Each structure stands twice: as C-alpha cells, then as structure tokens.
Amino acid sequence: MTVFDKDTSAYWMPFTPNRAFKKNPRIIESAAGMYYTTKDGQQILDGCAGLWCVNAGHGNDKINGAIKSQVDKMTYSPAFQAGHSLAFEFAERLAQLFPGDLNHAFFTNSGSESVDTALKIARAYQKARGKPEKIKLIGREKGYHGVNFGGLSVGGIMPNRQAFGPLLSEVDHLPHTHDLSKNAFSEGQPTHGADKAERLLDLIALHGAHTIAAVIVEPMAGSAGVLVPPVGYLERLREICSAHDILLIFDEVITAFGRLGDSCAAARFNVQPDLITTAKGLTNGAVPMGAVMVSDRVHEAMMTGPENMIELFHGYTYSGHPLACAAGIATLDVYGQEDLFGRARDLAPYWQKAIHSLKRHDAVIDVRNIGLVGAIELQPREDKAGERAFEAYLKAFDAGLLIRTTADIIALSPPLIISEEQIDFITNTLDDILATIQ
C-alpha cells in the first residue's frame, strides 16, 4: 500500500471512484519511455499509452525540447482575430498527413471539444448550403464521443449519459457491431456485421434524409472495449451517407496517429469521411489539444458571405495554443523520423499472436485486436459486472503493468515504441494474473 502524505480530499478525480481510490491511492511520480515510476519507486510498464495518447512514449526529448523552447518564446497569443506562425504550420502539416481533401484544421483542447466542434460544423454546413432542416445527428450504441453535451447525446454508453439528461433531442443511434456469437476470437477485422450498417437505411426511412446532418462513429470503438469494425461495415456506411447527402464523421481521437498502423483509421480502412475528430496522440499527450480535420467541400461551403464576417461563431481561448502547436509539430516529426506508424504495423502480427495466447483461460470469452490495440473480454461474475476485470487491473498494477478496464474488458494500447520483450511482459503478466482469477 502506498504511503501518501498529501490530503486527497480537495481533488475530485475524473472517472474514478474517489472514495475507494483515496483509501489506497496509486500515485505516479514520473514517466520515461515505456515506464512510469510510482511514488514508492516501482516501475510500471504502460500498457495503455496513458489514456491512448502517449503514442511516442513518455518524456520524448524532441517533444519536450520543442515545448521548452516555445515556453521561452511565447506561451500565449490570442486565438481570435490574430494568429501565430506555429498554428498555421501545424494545420498545414496535419492537412498533409490526413488522407484525401481533409485539408483544414480547427483546433480545440480535447477530444470532447473536437466532437462538439465537429457536430456544430456539420449543422452549420447544412445551414450554410441552404438545408437548415438537416439537423439530426446519428451516433451509435456503445459509442464514446467524450463528455460534453453533443458528444454525450450521440454517444451510446448508458452510465455516461444517465445523470445528465435531457440531452440533445434531434439524435438517433445505429446498433453497435459487437457480436460474440459470431465474431469471438477474431484476429483483425471480424467477418460478420457489415449488415449492421444497413440500419442507417431504416433511420433514413424513419426520419428522412432531408432531416439528417451527419453520422458520427468511431471507426474502431475504443472506450467501449475495442470494437473492431467488421469487414465492409465502414465502406457501407460511407456509401449510404454519400447516397443520401449525409456527412460522415469519424471520431479518431484514439485511432489517429498510428494506433492502427497508419496515420488514421480512414487511411487504414481506405474509407474517406467528411470530417475527422482528433486529440490525444496529436501532441503525444504532452499538452492538451484536439483538432477537427475538415474536407474542402465542407470548408468551402462555410467560406461564403461577406468577407469581413466571421464564418463560424465558434472557438476556444486556447484554440491553437502555442505550446500545444509546438508539441504537436514535434510529435509529428517524431512519428515520421521514428516511423512509428510503420512500427505499429510491423509489430501487429507479433502483438496479435501474443495476446491471443490468453484465450486459454476459462474466464476469457473473447480476445480481439487490430494494429497495436487489443482487448481481452472476461465473463462477468454474476451480479458483479466489472469486478473480475478490475481485480486484474489491481493485480497488474502491483505486478508492474498498467492496463485499462471497461466493465469486464481489459483494453491494451501500448506506446508504439514497445519492444517484443515488453509485449511478452504484458502477456506473461496477464497470463499469470488470469490464472489466479476465479
């Protein structure tokens, strides 16, 4: 048990059972490369890249150096009606990185803000092109799009929503694609489930395409427990959206910047959305930042009206913050110089074999993976959902491994700098732990 001498009562921790945590706090003091060091001096291998964000590993010298030199130059410049050169440079770099004509970046400070920004842009776009009745937003069951009101409304994780209603009303949801009866232990994309995209046609029949602004999905759902898109599913969503004049938004807060072995899921699956939301790996988690990538078509439709009028009445004090831009540009340099997206792609077969070895345990009802992401789903205990996986979480932490759990799903998403030996450490540690969990 950690001896922690600070009063813990003032800090209301996010997405944490505060009272239980504070009885036995897990306090991290520093981080470098693949490892955290706790207050007690224990090394913890980071099996989740922080919260899916530290793709280049902790404390990268180049990223830290860029932030430090920007601190001495300028830590803030106003985001409205003035600009600084790093924001333009970073937007340009992102436009080059993302596929197709996603050539415009709107900067935010988080994934949640990116999602709400994208939903607002979708509605504003429809209005700007003379279709003000196209306002409905279609999300998906089990979707996680952050915690602000727009993202919660299109999101599909019940506990995140239930205390905060009423949410946006002009919203509907597609069914999720998680189907263990057909797809358990899939390696890479599951084969069954593309037909779930057809349900969009039912929603169109119900509401009318003339009322629908956009569909938003995570191309690979992360927070719900790594739900890999079935073969053909995203392609079919794209076809239906195009045929019915509906924008397609990919929420790539997790999947962009190498997680799937490519710049983003749109590139990995070769499906072109109209907008992409990002955050997390955008700055390697070093400075909070998000960005919405916007296609030429959507951007051009907004760049109308008198030239001296604001085109989008939206933005944040810290949009394009200088420290975040410095971190982001250096992060893209590191991803490129170290070929981390290629590294994730090359390591994916090793990773797949390693984590699928865990299927030998009775409690394991599914193992799934893509790129450098994996999930191990455990049979929930009767009337005690989540308990089994959380027991694994605590045991893993004690054994020097950070994992992430959602209900009874263990999610793994290590920094892309991980070695094969460190992958073995993850699977051997979990193998030992799962053997003790009844």
* C-alpha distances in Å from residue 300, one per residue of 103, 104, 296: 11, 10, 6
Judged by CB under 6 A, does residue 140 bind ligand PLP? no
At 11, is the secondary structure helix, strand, or coil? coil
At 212, is the secondary structure helix, strand, or coil? strand
Contact pattern from residue 145 through residue 174 relative to ligand PLP, giving x for each residue in contact according to CB under 6 A and a dash for the rest: xx----------------------------
Min dist. Cβ of residue 174 to ligand PLP (A)? 15
Quickly list DSSP for 151-201. HHHH---HHHHTTS----SSEEEEPP---HHHHTT-SSS-SS-GGGGGHHH
Judged by CB under 6 A, does residue 319 bind ligand PLP? no
Give the interface segment with ligand PLP, choosing from 81-89, 139-147, 372-380, 396-404 (CB under 6 A). 139-147
Cβ distance to ligand PLP smaller for residue 241 or 256: 256
Q: Which of residues 398-417 bind ligand PLP (CB under 6 A)?
A: none
Cβ distance to ligand PLP smaller for residue 123 or 145: 145
Give the residue, chosen from 212, 249, 253, 324, that forms a contact with ligand PLP under the rule CB under 6 A: 253
Whole-number Å distance between alpha carbons of 391 and 351? 23
Give the interface segment with ligand PLP, choosing from 73-81, 142-150, 257-265, 420-428 (CB under 6 A). 142-150
Whole-number Å distance between alpha carbons of 414 and 347? 11
Judged by CB under 6 A, does residue 84 bind ligand PLP? no
Token pair, residue 140, equals 């998906």
Contact pattern from residue 2 through residue 41 relative to ligand PLP, giving x for each residue in contact according to CB under 6 A and a dash for the rest: ----------------------------------------
Q: Which amino acid is at 313?
A: F
Cβ distance to ligand PLP smaller for residue 280 or 356: 280
Q: Which amino acid is at 158?
A: M
Token pair, residue 203, equals 């929603």
Give the interface segment with ligand PLP, choosing from 109-117, 265-273, 367-375, 406-414 (CB under 6 A). 109-117
Rg (CA), the chain: 22
Size of the site for ligand PLP (CB under 6 A): 14
Whole-number Å distance between alpha carbons of 241 and 262? 24
Judged by CB under 6 A, does residue 285 bind ligand PLP? no
Scanning the structure block, which residue is given the tokens 């491994």? 401
Cβ distance to ligand PLP smaller for residue 15 or 61: 15
Judged by CB under 6 A, does residue 115 bind ligand PLP? yes
Contact 351, 362 (CB under 8 A): no
Contact 251, 218 (CB under 8 A): yes
Give the residue, chosen from 124, 209, 279, 332, that forms a contact with ligand PLP under the rule CB under 6 A: 279
Q: Which amino acid is at 191?
A: T
Contact 351, 209 (CB under 8 A): no
Cβ distance to ligand PLP smaller for residue 283 or 427: 283
Judged by CB under 6 A, does residue 111 bind ligand PLP? yes
Judged by CB under 6 A, does residue 366 bind ligand PLP? no
Is residue 78 reached through a cis peptide bond, with omega within 30 degrees of 0 on the bond before it? no
Q: Detail the DSSP E strand segments found in 141-253.
A: 171-174, 212-217, 247-251
Q: Which amino acid is at 274?
A: D
Whole-number Å distance between alpha carbons of 339 and 288? 23
Cβ distance to ligand PLP smaller for residue 372 or 434: 372
Contact 284, 271 (CB under 8 A): no
Contact pattern from residue 194 through residue 233 relative to ligand PLP, giving x for each residue in contact according to CB under 6 A and a dash for the rest: ------------------------x---xx----------
Binding residues for ligand PLP, rule: CB under 6 A, are 110-112, 115, 144-146, 218, 222-223, 251, 253-254, 279
